Amino acid sequence: MLLVKLLFRNAFRQRLRSILTIAATTIAILAFGFLRTIVDAWYSGVEASSPKRLVTRNAISLTTPLPISYKDKIKKVRGVSLVSYGNWFGGIYISEKNFIPNFAVEPASYLELYPEYVLSAEEKKAFLQDRKGCIAGRKVAEEFKWRIGDTIVLKGTIFPGEWEFTLRGIYRGLRPTTDETQLFFHFDYLNERLKKIYPQRADHVGFFLIGIDDPRRAAEISLEIDSLFKNSLAETLTETEKAFQLGFVAMTEAILITIKLISYVIIIIILAIVANTMSMNVRERLSEYAVMKTMGFSWPHISVLVFGESLVITTTGAVSGMILTFPAAKIFVDAMGTLLPVFNITEKTLILDFIISIAVGISAGLLPAWKAINVPVQRALTKIG
């Protein structure tokens, strides 16, 4: 206990230096946790994906449609339990600033395939019954203060014109990783209007969403589906939902790598700061370690003192940084609106924060500990302080 007391008091002996170092650690951990959370947010689509869902799209590109007639053929593939389909609609709500991912989907099968979008029974019924109905995630509804029954007008970009919907439900995410910023409406509503204005674009879908019984057969089923349409006019590319989402993330990979890199650079900088503080602290006290050595203390005790002190500094900083990450994230989310649909500080990030603070504490203590352990005992004869 006395050693613990001593190492705590040592940690706060140069009060200003310690406070500045702890503050630097706090900021570093805050920044690190924050950047990690941004990266997580980017991957949220991947995280939220289910191994029991496949996505089939045109092999040429994401924006090239497939005939809706493929649906029946896909349904017959062994292991396929459910087929839904839809289109990325890309409509704009009032202004382009308002980022609301919106899709035209076959509603009944879609909701069955995505049980994580939770609607009350009445909302679900109302949505399915209203051809012009739509549902939106809780976050968008809150952001734009939508109420059930409101009329929502989207300006089409891919499908020109003004499109009017009635909000029939506000869905909640089953899990924290569920995206609550999207809007869904009936594929038929889109298709029927297309038949009138762009008949050649009607009866085509952007993607099929396929439910399978056994995730272990995902690769096999994907191949089988794609082989059905080999050498046809529109060949397909089928992959798991996760692979599909990863494909999106890959487009912005350079940014992600940069963010990750920065987050690790921050750790290296904080390591340098703590190491510098520790080496100053220990250098000023070498005679004290020498005095302890004359008393018979050796490396185990001296290591405890030096590493303990270093860890007190880094973990104090880390814990305050971790605590501050929450209000910081809240401010950020409020400012960003629905741009990052899922922005959750994960347990993993917090654990990583803590592991890093321990690793930094130990690394920063290595050289000072070595110096303290090897201080010549004769040094004890010089004046302390």
**Which residues contact another protein by CB under 8 A?**
1-3, 5-6, 9-10, 13, 287-288, 291-298, 301, 377-378, 380-385
- Least spacing, CB of residue 301 vs another protein, in Å: 7
Residue 192, Cβ neighbours under 10 Å: how many? 12
Smallest distance from another protein to CB 295, Å: 4
Nearer to another protein, 166 or 287 (CB): 287
Task: Tell me how far, at minimum, the Cβ of 260 lies from another protein, in Å.
Answer: 41
DSSP code at position 92: B
**What is the gyration radius of the CA atoms in the chain, in angstroms?**
29
Q: Of 296 and 327, which CB lies nearer to another protein in the complex structure?
A: 296
Dihedral over Cα of 317, 318, 320, 324: its sign:
positive
For the chain, where are the alpha helices, taking DSSP H only?
Answer: 2-11, 15-42, 44-47, 70-76, 107-113, 121-129, 138-143, 187-197, 218-228, 241-251, 253-284, 286-294, 299-336, 347-373
Residue 138 or 379 having the CB closest to another protein: 379
Q: Which is nearer to another protein, 157 or 378 (CB)?
A: 378
Contact assessment for residue 127 and residue 119, using Cβ atoms and an 8 Å cutoff: yes
Min dist. Cβ of residue 313 to another protein (A)? 15
Q: Taking the chain, what is the end-to-end CA distance rounded to the nearest angstrom?
A: 24
Smallest distance, another protein to C-beta of residue 21, A: 18
Whose Cβ is closer to another protein: residue 19's or residue 39's? 19
Q: How far apart are CA 345 and CA 41, in angstroms?
A: 9
Beta carbon of residue 294, minimum distance to another protein (angstroms, whole number): 5
Distance CA 345, CA 175 (A): 14
Partners of residue 53 on adjacent β-strands: 211
The CB-of-276 to another protein minimum distance in angstroms stands at 21
Least distance between another protein and beta carbon 375 (Å)? 11
Give the Cα separation of 134 and 139 in Å (integer). Answer: 15
The distance of closest approach from Cβ of residue 287 to another protein in the complex, given in angstroms and rounded to an integer, is 7
What count of residues does the chain have? 385
Q: Which is nearer to another protein, 9 or 73 (CB)?
A: 9
Q: How far apart are CA 181 and CA 384, in angstroms?
A: 64
Residue closer to another protein (CB basis): 13 or 330: 13
Q: Please say which residue, 201 or 379, places its beta carbon nearer to another protein.
A: 379
Nearest to 189 by CA among 138, 145, 112, 133: 133
DSSP per-residue letters across 152-201 = EEEEETTTTEEEEEEEEEEEEESSTTS----EEEEHHHHHHHHHHH-GGG
- CB nearer another protein, residue 214 or residue 284: 284
Q: Is residue 210 classed exposed, middle or buried when 0-12, 13-18 and 19+ CB atoms within 10 A define those classes? A: buried
In the complex, the smallest distance separating the C-beta of residue 279 from another protein, rounded to whole angstroms, is 19
12/43 with CB nearer another protein:
12
* DSSP secondary structure letters along 276-320: HHHHHHHHHTHHHHHHHHHTT--HHHHHHHHHHHHHHHHHHHHHH
